[in-house]
Amino acid sequence: MIRLFLFVSLFISVALTGCQSSENNELLDASAMGDTSKIELALKRGANLNTRDSDHGATPVIVAIWAGQLHAVKLLIQNGADQNLFGAGGTPLYWAAFYGRTEIFLFLKSQGAKLNVDDKSFAYLLQIIHEKGLADLIVEVKDQTQEQDRRY
């Protein structure tokens, strides 16, 4: 129910946004709906892959993650969207983990995406995933964080 509310409120806010180009609004809408043909059309019309919605600062990739649209996420990343661009309070990888989007999380991880979270946010993320009963995703998140730590 909460997901539906977030999706509907995001869709309405994107639809009512007047300060962005129509191409960017089309891209955000298409990303939320997982409509890859409309995503491609918006990109051909000059939409910015890293545009942000006016209410939450969410990018098209994050909007697609919130809505569980794996094919849209893949298309956006393959066309050059920034997979590590912080928006709406987290990176795409963070949001994929937060919403329990394991397939999206694994895809983003395979593309080199990073969580980029502080200790408090990391603990909260693990708590949320644990509450959802996603033990496999907890392992993946911890593994990704350890890989990230080893690089620095």
Average pLDDT over residues 25-39: 98
Considering Cα of 31, then 37, then 40, then 42, what sign does the dihedral take? negative
Quote the mean pLDDT of the chain: 88
The pLDDT score that the predictor gives to residue 132 is: 96
Distances (CA, A) of 109 to 81, 127, 140, 142: 15, 20, 9, 12
Average pLDDT over residues 24-37: 98
The pLDDT score that the predictor gives to residue 44 is: 97
Residue 148 has pLDDT above 80, yes or no: no
Residue 17 has pLDDT above 80, yes or no: no
Burial of 31 (0-12, 13-18, 19+ CB in 10 A): buried
Summarised one tens digit per residue, pLDDT across range 56-107 is 999 999 999 999 999 999 999 999 999 999 999 999 999 999 999 999 999 9
What domains lie within the chain, and their CATH numbers?
Answer: 2-151 (1.25.40.20)
Higher pLDDT residue, 148 or 92?
A: 92
pTM of the model: 0.83
Summarised one tens digit per residue, pLDDT across range 110-133 is 999 999 999 999 999 999 999 999
